[in-house]
């Protein structure tokens, strides 16, 4: 059965489907000895020979997805110019290489999915699929109702982009600072931090506690659990 080249590469553990698309565009993939740069190119895994980085790709890894409680001090990118540790170092599974789905910035903690399932990674990161993500944020200052209303309606970021409406709950005010719960479905870089800054309440601590139906639950910081087939299927049906 034929499938798109980038999907097959993701299933072989090369990276997310989006990352595989970039690799194809860069002319680093060969199919049956010929370089391929076309996004719509299809391969038959049972017949075609796909090469990347001088090796023939084979899908021998079991499809695996884990929910990690990311600590601060780890990046979610494969390459970091400062040599900081990345989240894949926290998930050690023999014979299985996993990749982060989306990003959490260096200081943000909480729920992060890692997978070698290209279909799932594509589903969760594609802009067309609006999947709710819930964050708990400690912000500086006693937040006013007007600021909450602005967050709920959407705020203008520094580059002129207006965010989609968010759901916001005030959880409490203590020591002159506020704790809020904010739900968004977009994935702009540092979005929650930038939204809070835009309304005058900078984030002091930020933790993601839910993505779609998945909740962080009792997974301890720095630890992870493997998702069940039922949970993976539920994620694939979102959007």
Structure tokens at 152: 């709920």
Nearest partner of 134 among 71, 217, 210, judged by Cα: 210
- Collapsing DSSP to helix, strand or coil, 211 comes out as strand
Structure tokens at 94: 């023999």
Nearest partner of 165 among 177, 179, 178, 148, judged by Cα: 148
Report whether 230 contacts 213 (CB < 8 A): no
79 Cα distance to chain centroid: 16
Cα–Cα distance for residue pair 222/131, rounded to 1 Å: 24
Question: Of the listed 48, 86, 105, 132, which one is catalytic?
Answer: 105
Cα–Cα distance for residue pair 3/49, rounded to 1 Å: 13
Q: Does the annotation count 44 as an active-site position? A: no
Q: What is the set of active-site residues?
A: 105
């Amino acid at each position: 059965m034929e499938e798109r080249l980038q999907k097959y590469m993701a299933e072989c553990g090369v990276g997310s489907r989006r990352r595989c698309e970039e690799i194809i565009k860069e002319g680093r993939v060969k199919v049956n000895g010929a370089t391929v740069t076309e996004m719509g190119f299809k391969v038959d895994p049972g017949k075609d020979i796909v090469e990347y980085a001088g090796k023939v790709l084979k899908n021998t890894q079991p499809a695996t997805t884990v929910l990690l409680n990311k600590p601060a001090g780890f990046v979610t990118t494969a390459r970091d110019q400062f040599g900081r540790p990345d989240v894949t170092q926290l998930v050690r599974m023999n014979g299985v290489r996993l990749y982060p789905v989306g990003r959490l910035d260096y200081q943000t903690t909480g729920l992060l999915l890692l997978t070698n399932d290209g279909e799932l990674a594509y589903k969760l990161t594609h802009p067309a699929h609006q999947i709710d993500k819930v964050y708990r944020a400690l912000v500086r200052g006693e937040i006013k109702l007007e600021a909450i209303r602005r967050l709920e309606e959407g705020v203008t970021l520094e580059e002129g982009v207006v965010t989609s409406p968010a759901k916001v709950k005030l959880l409490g005010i203590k020591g002159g600072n506020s704790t809020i719960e904010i739900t968004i479905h977009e994935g702009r870089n540092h979005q929650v931090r930038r939204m809070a800054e835009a309304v005058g309440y900078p984030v002091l601590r930020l933790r993601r506690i839910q993505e779609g139906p998945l909740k962080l639950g009792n997974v301890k910081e720095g630890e992870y659990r493997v998702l069940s087939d039922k949970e993976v299927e539920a994620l694939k049906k979102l959007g």
